[in-house]
Amino acid sequence: MKKYLIVLIPIVIIITVLTTVYFFSPRKIPVITYHDFVYQNKENNMQISKKEFEEEMKYLHNHHYKTLKLKDIECFIKNKCKLPRKSVLITMDDGWKSELEIAAPILKKYNLNATIFYVGENYDGKNENFMDKADLELIKEKYPNIELASHSYQLHYEDAYKLGKEEIKKDIDSMKKILNSKYYAYPYGKYSKEYIKALKEKGYSLAFTFGPDKAHRKVNKKEDPYLIPRLNMSSGIPMWKFILRLNWYR
């Protein structure tokens, strides 16, 4: 009996502590980010297989997560509304064709909201790997649960953040002809003071980063609205780690 208690008591203490931390710690919201999707064979860790993605979305559905819209995150960090502890914002970057062909039907199947941060230069259909004008119209018509926002018009390269404010504003103007959104995701998650000034002057309410280091964490109520962090969902993440990121990760 004593041996049993020696093992049981520490387990009970650990569970009690974790439960207390979970329920009484300040509310934080995970913003999870995907890129390209494949049916099976992956070429890099930024691609997620259809099976992996469906398992993760099924988990969110079965465990009654509230999948947010961008306006919900804006409301949350401005302290104008409360969100359920089981809340998550699902984002997808770039506007890959696979986001329409693979991810969208799964999101609709499980009645989940999501956001695509779209790169505008693909609108004319010159790159077959990315969604074009007709695809965006299809998203709006068939998948109202998926929101479209800006990932720049033609600044999707790593050094774009080094541009001056006026150059960035010109790109924003080009993008607004395609998609009039007040939400933005920095290409490669990189930003500068000039970038933020440009977004503010052009009426953007929120801007999302994407790594490295501290950007890989959850969103709290004290966030700078132009530096919203996100959590990367790369290939090969086991379900236990996916669940850990939703519930315990920073």
What does pTM read for this prediction?
0.87
Least confident piece of the model among 31-45, 49-63, 135-149, 164-178: 31-45
- pLDDT for 196-224, tens place per residue? 999 999 999 999 997 655 557 888 888 99
- pLDDT for 38-60, tens place per residue? 998 777 778 899 999 999 999 99
Q: Kindly report the three-state secondary structure assignment for every residue of the chain.
A: CHHHHHHHHHHHHHHHHHHHHHHHCCCCECEEEECEEECCCCCCCCEEEHHHHHHHHHHHHHCCCEECCHHHHHHHHCCCCCCCCCEEEEEEEECEHHHHHHHHHHHHHCCCCEEEEECHHHCCCCCCCECCHHHHHHHHHHCCCEEEEECCCCCCCCCHHHCCHHHHHHHHHHHHCCCCCCEEECHHHCCCHHHHHHHHHCCCCEEECCCCHHHCCCECCCCCCCCECCEECCCCCCHHHHHHHHHCCC
CATH topology of domain 29-247: TIM Barrel (3.20.20)
Domain definitions of the chain by residue range: 29-247
Report pLDDT for 246: 86
40 or 35, higher pLDDT: 35
* Residue 111 scores a pLDDT above 50: yes
Region 67-89 average pLDDT: 93
* Residue 7 scores a pLDDT above 90: no
Report pLDDT for 221: 87
